[in-house]
């Protein structure tokens, strides 16, 4: 489906997600203005990849309502002279700004920046006539990622109706932000405003899959250490495709979607993994062997999004073969141990 080019304001575009997403949006023909406290640094792109070098950044403190209103009514790039006409209302706003984990700032500052910044952005966008706002939330709202000690999900697969009762301030700010989104969507529904929320999983950039000893290889090699992300992830290019579907599909009002890829982030059968790591958690339905524990069923059904990038196809082949052999040996060992346990327990 062809994408209609749009004028889009992207907040927080200088962060990891934004640096990768903005070139993808540009490649679809969109015109982007970045609002951030830091300039957008994309570095040299890989051969054939789009570049975000021409995206202008307006240094904007989103906790200042006046700055936000001003930035949302600005031209998208400087010129001499400036265009003769006042800038039109942006077609959409993608909100990715704010602190992305706890302890980047004191808790009260994390909460203030994340919640107040989002409120100001939504207020300005809705009052100025922007009819599409997409907000980055997080799977941390399910309360496992930054819990005080080990925690469990309410059930599997984790859908958007699962409880959101986190203990940490960062995830709490995301939960509060979702309520702010719902409030503005309801308040401005007569104007046809859509506010879509993406509960984004661990974002993985293409180069991370093959980084020796990097984070992704750690995900695969030591799955027991990565319960906090629900053994789920999102390839940044698939996240870009989710944004495209958000931009194209109108009229849903306020919606929340898990933004994750299809597959579990390790080679092990997900049922065995979850049975070992979270044995007391209820299964609401059966999971396929490689299905991600956090469900993306709703975003597929409502937006028509489909995954394009599977991590299994993107890791180094020689490393992959070694990990598969280790997995098979481990599964055989666990099977023997289970058979021995049953034989000893038999009368």
CB–CB of 125/180 below 8 Å? no
Tell me which of 49 and 188 has the higher pLDDT: 188
CB–CB of 155/273 below 8 Å? no
CB–CB of 12/22 below 8 Å? no
pLDDT of residue 46: 45
pTM: 0.90
Tell me which of 189 and 314 has the higher pLDDT: 189
**How does residue 212 score in pLDDT terms, banded at 50, 70 and 90?**
confident
pLDDT of residue 322: 59
Biggest CA–CA distance in the chain, Å, is 90
**How does residue 295 score in pLDDT terms, banded at 50, 70 and 90?**
very high
User: Percentage of the chain surpassing pLDDT 70?
Assistant: 88
**How does residue 320 score in pLDDT terms, banded at 50, 70 and 90?**
low
User: Measured between alpha carbons, how far is residue 328 from residues 53, 136, 317, 324, 342 in Å?
Assistant: 46, 38, 17, 6, 21
Q: Which residue has the tokens 């997403």?
A: 21
CB–CB of 173/108 below 8 Å? no
**In the chain, domain spans:** 7-209+232-264+293-308
Helices and strands, counts by H and E, the chain? 10, 11
Tell me which of 210 and 344 has the higher pLDDT: 210
pLDDT at 324 over 90: no
Residue range 152-180, pLDDT digits in tens: 999 999 999 999 999 999 999 999 999 99
> How many Cβ atoms are within 10 Å of 249's Cβ, its own excluded?
16
pLDDT of residue 318: 62
CB–CB of 52/42 below 8 Å? yes
Q: What is the DSSP annotation of 46-69?
A: PTT----TT-EEEE--TT-HHHHH
Mean of pLDDT over the chain: 91
- Just give the CATH number of 7-209+232-264+293-308: 3.40.50.720
Contacts for 292 with CB less than 8 Å, ≥ 6 apart? 157, 230, 231, 232, 233, 260, 261, 262, 263, 264, 265, 270
Rounded CA separation 224/230 (Å): 10
Helices assigned H by DSSP within the chain: 16-27, 65-72, 107-111, 117-128, 169-187, 215-221, 236-248, 270-277, 297-303, 317-345
Q: In residues, how long is the chain?
A: 347
Choose among 247, 188, 252: nearest CA to 10. Answer: 247
């Amino acid at each position: 489906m062809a994408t209609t080019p749009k004028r889009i304001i992207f907040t927080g575009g200088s962060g990891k997600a934004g640096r990768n997403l903005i070139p993808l949006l540009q490649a679809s023909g969109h015109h982007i203005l970045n609002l951030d406290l830091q300039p957008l640094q994309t570095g040299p792109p890989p051969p054939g990849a789009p570049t975000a070098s021409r995206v202008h950044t307006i240094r904007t403190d989103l906790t200042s309502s006046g700055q936000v209103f001003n930035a949302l009514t600005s031209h998208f790039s400087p010129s001499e002279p400036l265009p003769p006409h006042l800038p039109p209302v942006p077609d959409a706003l993608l909100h990715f700004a704010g602190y992305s984990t706890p302890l980047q700032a004191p808790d009260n500052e994390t909460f203030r920046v994340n919640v107040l910044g989002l409120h100001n952005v939504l207020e300005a966008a809705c009052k100025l006539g922007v009819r599409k706002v997409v907000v980055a939330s997080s799977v941390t709202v399910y309360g496992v990622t930054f819990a005080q000690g080990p925690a469990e999900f309410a059930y599997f697969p984790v859908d958007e109706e699962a409880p959101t009762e986190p203990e940490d301030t960062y995830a709490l700010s995301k939960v509060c932000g979702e309520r702010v989104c719902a409030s503005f969507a309801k308040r401005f529904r007569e104007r046809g405003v859509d506010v879509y929320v993406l509960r984004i999983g661990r974002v993985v950039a293409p180069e991370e899959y093959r980084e020796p000893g990097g984070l992704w290889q750690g995900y695969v090699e030591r799955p027991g250490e990565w319960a906090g992300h629900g053994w789920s992830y999102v390839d940044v290019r698939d996240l870009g495709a989710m944004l495209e579907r958000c931009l194209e599909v109108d009229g849903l009002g306020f919606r929340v979607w898990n933004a994750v890829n299809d597959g579990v982030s390790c080679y092990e059968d997900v049922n065995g993994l979850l049975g070992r790591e979270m044995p007391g958690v209820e299964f609401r339905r059966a999971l396929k062997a490689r299905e991600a524990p956090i469900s993306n069923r709703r975003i597929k059904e409502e937006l028509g999004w489909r995954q394009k990038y599977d991590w299994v196809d993107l890791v180094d082949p020689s490393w992959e073969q070694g990990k598969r052999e280790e997995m098979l040996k481990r599964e055989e060992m666990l099977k023997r141990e289970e058979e021995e346990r049953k034989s000893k327990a038999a009368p």
